[in-house]
Amino acid sequence: MNHIVICEDNPEQGKLLADIINHVMNERISVFICQSAAEFEGFLQTHPMPDVVFMDIELGNGENGIDAIKRLIPRTFKTQVIYITGYLKYCTQVYSTPHISFLVKPFQSAQVKTALEQSLAKMEEMQYEGISICIHSQVIYIPFRQLKYIESSGRKLRFVCSDTTYESYMQIKDAVPKLDMRFFQCHKSYIVNLDQVLSCDGKSYTLRNNECIPISTRYRLDSKRVFLNYLSQNISFHVNSIQK
């Protein structure tokens, strides 16, 4: 089931949009309406992060929906944002935050349907571009391109990214099926992103930032082969792309 939140200070507009969403969606959904940024913030404290948010830009009482998204929807979440407004002057300001669409009132069913379809398609696409992990009661989305390696530490996994590190209670065997072919388990406690590897000597992988990831004896025979095959496939892909 997809969870959708409408943040709209006008109750009639909010109900109208909810009716349109329920009419155009064939999938199972739940729709919740908030009438202010404060109410939306309270909703997030007691509910899972929604899949899609329809955010009005002018919420009344000086509240701005763009600022609310910046503050309440971290870039590490898969939530898709659809801005709604009656004012075209905001058409460029919305680009300060990630969003999937920008709808101008009055709403047209076809436009709402298209925006929702784009949102759900983007969410499905992101399943193959990153990994979602649970931290406390929140689900964090980590794009594969930002993930350097995963390290097992006690009952937790450390997801070491380009600019931060996340820790989640899970085992390494549970993370492996969620990763794609760029990741290689080189140690009982390490999974490395081969995109981040600069060199391999069979005993360790050296990353582009000069960090070293150990390779255990069990994986030494495969470590160089896997890395060379990965390089070969990616070089071939880039050459073919250039030629086309």
**Tens-digit pLDDT profile for residues 219-228:** 988 888 888 8
- For the chain, the maximum distance between any two Cα atoms, rounded to a whole number of angstroms, is 66
Phi (first) and psi of residue 109, to 5 degrees: -55, -40
pLDDT of residue 181: 84
Q: Worst-scoring range by mean pLDDT, 116-130, 136-150, 152-166, 215-229?
A: 116-130
pLDDT of residue 140: 87
Specify the residue for token string 């929702």: 116
**Which one of 46-50, 103-107, 128-132, 196-200 scores highest in mean pLDDT?**
196-200
- Section 36-52 average pLDDT: 88
**Letter for the amino acid at 4?**
I
- Alpha-carbon distance of 106 to 17, in angstroms, equals 10
- Section 184-191 average pLDDT: 95
Considering only residues 62 and 146, tell me which one the structure prediction assigns the higher pLDDT.
146
Q: What is the mean pLDDT of the chain?
A: 86
Q: Worst-scoring range by mean pLDDT, 65-79, 144-158, 223-237?
A: 223-237
Considering only residues 205 and 243, tell me which one the structure prediction assigns the higher pLDDT.
205
pLDDT of residue 160: 96
pLDDT of residue 88: 72
Q: Name the band, by pLDDT with cuts 50, 70 and 90, for residue 98.
A: confident
- Alpha-carbon distance of 237 to 174, in angstroms, equals 30
pLDDT of residue 53: 95
Contact 86, 92 (CB under 8 A): no
Is residue 244 over pLDDT 70? no
Contact 17, 8 (CB under 8 A): yes
216 Cβ contact list (under 8 Å, min separation 6): 186, 187, 188
Considering only residues 45 and 4, tell me which one the structure prediction assigns the higher pLDDT.
4
Contact 102, 91 (CB under 8 A): yes
pLDDT of residue 167: 94
